[in-house]
Structure 1
Amino acid sequence: MQPIVIIGSGMAGYTLAREFRKLNPEQPLVMISADDAANYAKPTLSNALVGNKVPDQIALGDATKMATQLNMQILTHTWVKSIDHQAHELTLEHEGQTTTQAYSKLILAVGANPIRLAIAGDGSDDILVVNSLVDYRKFRENLDQCSDKRVVILGAGLIGCEFANDLQNTGHKATVIDLAPQPLGRLLPAHVAGAFQQNLEETGIQFVLSTTVEKVSKHPEKGYVVTLANGQNLVADVVLSAIGLQPNISLAKAADINTSRGVITNTLLETSKEDIYAIGDCAEVNGTLLPYVMPLMQQARALAKTLAGQTTPVHYPAMPVAVKTPAAPLTVLPAPLGVDVTWETEEFDDGMIAKATDSENTLRGFVLLGATAGKQRLTLTKLVPDLIPARV
């Protein structure tokens, strides 16, 4: 019997392996990882500083431990060079050696890559990203060498704001730059974004909005000088890019698997090629990309059942996202793209509830800012229709 092969050792790959092993302890299982395959939860990286966690404390287990725990072969530091979907075979490269790996079912859990802007200047190659534990180690090493602890963050999205809050809470000076006129521009209506921004600014975080970075230059005494399109110059010890993520579709495209923004799948998480599935940040399920933990969990549970012989479509209930910004507690359930909504807001002493309703007065999304509003999370979530209904 050929093994089920999972490409990728992130949360999606490990969660699927764990869910599958609950249903089938013996089926041969192989995981292929381009790095050391340490098992960790990527969302913990953006608040590890305030939790006083050093990088070595973040990993829940190394490849050896996980292989034993999940009765699985894990190939580390191994690249998948190509997929032959007709032969059900992969071409692999490890330490310069090329080998092949057969599969019965193949799961693409290859995640997403950080978007990188084309930025001029001799310091642009030193701009850091944090999309893995390997990246995070490098980020922490650079932080530890900072004397003035000045960090400039490119991007005021979810990850940028979480890192800014974590840095500010640990004695660093965070400045966040974004082309949008507000933080979390894709998730929040303007009036909520304004209150959210104000709460973060009260902790000392600085926002420079409606502009972008043109150049990052090395400076012998100041570290880096970040030149903005509005003519402003900022001094930084570390520059962190958190512009966003782009699903990793290159391997799928090379194998002639249908892609759009992500790897296209149906509700069974099947791609356009037989016996090949996609899961996690790379998967565009029924036209929807949701790079968050809860959709990933839903996918893993459904696909594990399908791989174990119980054909199970993925079910997407309403899944709010909790933003890890303690200075401004925030929960967001974005309204579906393409749905016209009207916002209604209720204010409290410590925040607000903003509800998005459609033309039929059905609740389609909401934003909860502050501790008082946050108590309404479960009540409101139950009122929002499923994004992908459960199939009976």
Structure 2
Amino acid sequence: MQKIVIIGAGIASLTAAEALRQNGFDGTITILGEENTLPYQRPPLSKAYLTSDELPSPTPIRSPNFFRDNKVEFEQGGKVIALERSAKQVVIQGGRKIKYDTLILATGARPRPIDLPGESAKNVFYLRNLDHSTALRNALLAPECEKVAILGAGVIGLEVASAANLQGKQVSVFEANSRAMCRVASPLTSNFVRNRMASAGVMFYFNASVNQILTEGDRVSGIRLSDGTTKPADVVVIGIGAIPNAELAQDANLDCDGGIIVDSGMRSSDPDIFAIGDCAKAVNVSTNTPIRIETIHNAMLQAQIAAAHICGKPSPPASPPRFWSDLNGMKVQCIGIATGYDRIQRRPTESDNACEFWLFSGDRMIATETVNLPTRQAKLSKALSG
């Protein structure tokens, strides 16, 4: 095995390249990135990037010296349009082909589109990359922007709502489900977060079905709910989930089902192709069932697992998934997956602005959730891993 090609230029791909070198791989590593920029951190795009007084530079995932120090070839601005498995090569837009011995797919995910009249109007935004964040930031800072409507009360939606609220905008969040963060947190944590965001001025509308984005000319002017109610808006942000970028794998007839199916070593149905990060669907230690997880922690762990298997080295120890978010001055941190629990225990905290919840299935603790208790994470992670 002499050449490894990694498609994607996020934290998963760079972690994989680094881990391959640490595990002794001395062949060629090539990372193919679609954007015309060095790999950058994505979490700040929905947080500090939107609220800075001056347009900040994207935060690099690694220093520019990373590629030289690890002898990694990085090609930016080249979209991979096909995998040719029999020839073991990838096809770049324009026709150029690159050979591989082992291929790692770290293609990530993209925002789930919404199919509504008016969705293509100006000042309707999705948020995934640097261009998206820059355009949204400019719209929020415009003098005519007073009212912001967020469709979706997941993590991204709440982060944008927090940023807009901190800028003094009138923010309304519309969620089809009965509560915020329903896919990633328990009701106790999501209600704690919602109450504090509401006290800061964010309006929440649950069980709310939006059936039209209203426009005046080519610009958004508001939204219409299924009950006929209309709400004015100068900016609309859509955050209703993500879709894995699995089309390359599907077109190459790899096993896919809501993500690229991989085994415990992150190997796909083709033994020479691995998948990691947001595009991969793997059995997780917290669920014992295949699941796709969109977190930095998961992307890095899967990258390390794939690199170890490629190099024939022991895998890193399993650890429960985790995610974090900054919302209106709150640091929300969760370990494990908030599904399958039958009991929640609230732990005492010294401040009313903090909370800690333990989630149990029977006698087994399967997840923890904290707000404004960052120093608790190491101990809680150890308790879950044990």
Equivalences for residues 58-137 of structure 1 within 5 A: 58-60=58-60, 67-68=67-68, 70-93=70-93, 97-121=94-118, 124=121, 126-137=123-134
DSSP 3-state at the match of 1:285: strand
Contact 1:335 1:356 in 2 (8 A): no
Q: Could you say which residue in structure 1 is the equivalent of 2:32?
A: 32
The 3 A distance-change label for structure 1 pair 248 and 63 is farther
Contact 2:124 2:220 in 1 (8 A): no
Q: Could you say which residue in structure 2 is the equivalent of 1:329?
A: 331
- Alignment length (residue pairs): 378
The 3 A distance-change label for structure 1 pair 53 and 333 is farther
User: Over residues 114-172 of structure 1, what are the superposed CA-to-partner deviations in whole Å (9 max), with x where a residue is unaligned?
Assistant: 11111113755752111111221222232233423322111101111112112211223
Q: Could you say which residue in structure 1 is the equivalent of 2:232?
A: 235
Q: What is the CA-CA distance between 1:380 and the residue it aligns to?
A: 2.8
Matched, 1:256 2:253: yes
- Partner AA of 1:363 in structure 2: M
DSSP 3-state at the match of 2:383: coil
The 3 A distance-change label for structure 1 pair 123 and 282 is closer
Contact 1:63 1:74 in 2 (8 A): no
DSSP 3-state at the match of 1:58: coil
Contact 1:153 1:174 in 2 (8 A): yes
- Partner AA of 1:39 in structure 2: P
The share of aligned pairs that are identical, in percent, is 21
The 3 A distance-change label for structure 1 pair 69 and 290 is same
Contact 1:85 1:274 in 2 (8 A): no
DSSP 3-state at the match of 2:43: helix
Q: Could you say which residue in structure 1 is the equivalent of 2:298?
A: 295
Q: What is the CA-CA distance between 1:216 and the residue it aligns to?
A: 1.1
Matched, 1:350 2:347: no
Q: What is the CA-CA distance between 1:237 and the residue it aligns to?
A: 1.8
Distance 1:60 1:377 in 2: 25
Per the normalisation by structure 2, the TM-score is 0.88
DSSP 3-state at the match of 1:57: coil
Report which stretch shifted further, 344-353 or 259-268.
344-353
Contact 1:49 1:167 in 2 (8 A): no
Q: What is the CA-CA distance between 1:103 and the residue it aligns to?
A: 0.4
DSSP 3-state at the match of 2:256: coil
Q: What is the CA-CA distance between 1:205 and the residue it aligns to?
A: 1.1
Distance 1:66 1:53 in 2: 30
DSSP 3-state at the match of 2:237: strand
Distance 1:183 1:17 in 2: 36
Equivalences for residues 1-392 of structure 1 within 5 A: 2-24=2-24, 26-49=26-49, 52=52, 56-60=56-60, 67-68=67-68, 70-93=70-93, 97-121=94-118, 124=121, 126-219=123-216, 223-286=220-283, 287-307=290-310, 309-313=311-315, 315-335=317-337, 337=339, 339-346=340-347, 348=349, 349-359=352-362, 361-371=363-373, 375-385=375-385
- Partner AA of 1:158 in structure 2: V
Distance 2:59 2:65 in 1: 11
Distance 1:357 1:160 in 2: 28
Distance 2:142 2:299 in 1: 36
Q: What is the CA-CA distance between 1:71 and the residue it aligns to?
A: 2.9
Distance 2:250 2:150 in 1: 32
Structure 1: tracts of 5 or more residues without a match: 387-392
Distance 1:122 1:47 in 2: 24
- Partner AA of 2:185 in structure 1: L
- Partner AA of 1:345 in structure 2: R
Contact 2:50 2:136 in 1 (8 A): no
Distance 1:170 1:69 in 2: 41
User: Over residues 162-213 of structure 1, what are the superposed CA-to-partner deviations in whole Å (9 max), with x where a residue is unaligned?
Assistant: 1211221122332111101111112333343222211001111111111122
Q: What is the CA-CA distance between 1:341 and the residue it aligns to?
A: 2.4
Contact 1:321 1:332 in 2 (8 A): yes
Contact 1:281 1:289 in 2 (8 A): yes
Structure 2: tracts of 5 or more residues without a match: 284-289
Distance 1:183 1:55 in 2: 30
- Partner AA of 1:28 in structure 2: T
User: Over residues 343-386 of structure 1, what are the superposed CA-to-partner deviations in whole Å (9 max), with x where a residue is unaligned?
Assistant: 22346533432221112x11111222344xx5543333322247
Contact 1:112 1:247 in 2 (8 A): yes
Distance 2:271 2:262 in 1: 11
Q: CA RMSD in A?
A: 2.7
Per the normalisation by structure 1, the TM-score is 0.87
Distance 1:280 1:65 in 2: 24
